[in-house]
Amino acid sequence: MRLRVLRTRERVYDGAVSDSTPSVTPSRSLFIGAIGVLALSVPFFIFGLSFLNTKARIELQCQRGGACALIRSGWLTKEPPIIFSPKELQSARIERGRSPRGEQQNIYRPVLVTTRGEFPLSHQWMEEEREANRTVVSVNRFLKNPESPGFTLWHDNRPRASRMGAMFTVAAVLVLLFGLWLTWRAMRRRREERAQGTAPGV
C-alpha cells in the first residue's frame, strides 16, 4: 500500500506586521512642555516669596526721653520705622478676641495706643493673657517715666507666619528643576534630530 503525502503551501516570512520601534517625542513638543512648566513655577515663586516676607516680626525701640520707633520686618525686607514722639504716645493695652477655630476661647494681643491710632505689637494673637500683659506693663512703665533707660522689645512670629511661604517656595524650586530637565532633554533631542536630518527646518 502506497501512502500519499499532501503538499503544504510554502510559507514566507515577510517581516513584522507592526513596527515595534518606540515612539520618540519630538524636540518641539519637549520645548513647549518645558516652557509651560517653567511658566508654572513663576506664580509659585511669587506666592512663596510674598508669604516669606510677611512682616511678622514687630519690634518696639524706645529711647530715653520718650521717643519710640516701631519696626515691622519679614525674612526678606523690613518696613521703614514708624517714629513716635513722646506727645504722640498715650498708652499700651491688651486687645481681646475670639479664637478663629470656633472655640469659646479668648485670644490676646498687645497694642500701642497713639494719637495716630492703634498699632499691634505682635503679629500673632496669644492664647495666654499674661504673655501679652508683660509687653503692656513694660511699655506703660516706660511711658510713665520717659527719662528711664530705653529698652527694646519684640515679638517674632515669622516662623509660624511663613510656613505657607516655605511650602510654595519648595514647590516652585521642584517645578523649576523639572522645567530645566525638560529643557535639557529638548536640546539633546534637537541635536539628535539635526544629526539625523529630521529637525524642523533641515
Distance CA 163, CA 51 (A): 8
Q: What's the pLDDT at 157?
A: 93
Q: What is the pLDDT along the chain (202 residues), one digit of tens a residue?
A: 555 555 655 555 555 555 554 566 788 888 899 999 999 999 999 999 999 999 999 999 999 988 999 999 999 999 999 999 999 999 999 999 877 765 668 899 999 999 999 999 999 999 899 999 999 999 999 999 988 898 999 999 999 888 889 999 999 999 999 999 999 999 988 888 888 876 555 4
Give the three cell numbers for residue 124: 500673632
Q: What's the pLDDT at 197?
A: 73
SS3 94: strand
Distance CA 199, CA 190 (A): 7
Q: What's the pLDDT at 47?
A: 92
Q: What's the pLDDT at 202?
A: 40
Distance CA 137, CA 141 (A): 6
Q: What's the pLDDT at 14?
A: 54
Instruction: Give 18's DSSP letter.
Output: S
SS3 3: coil
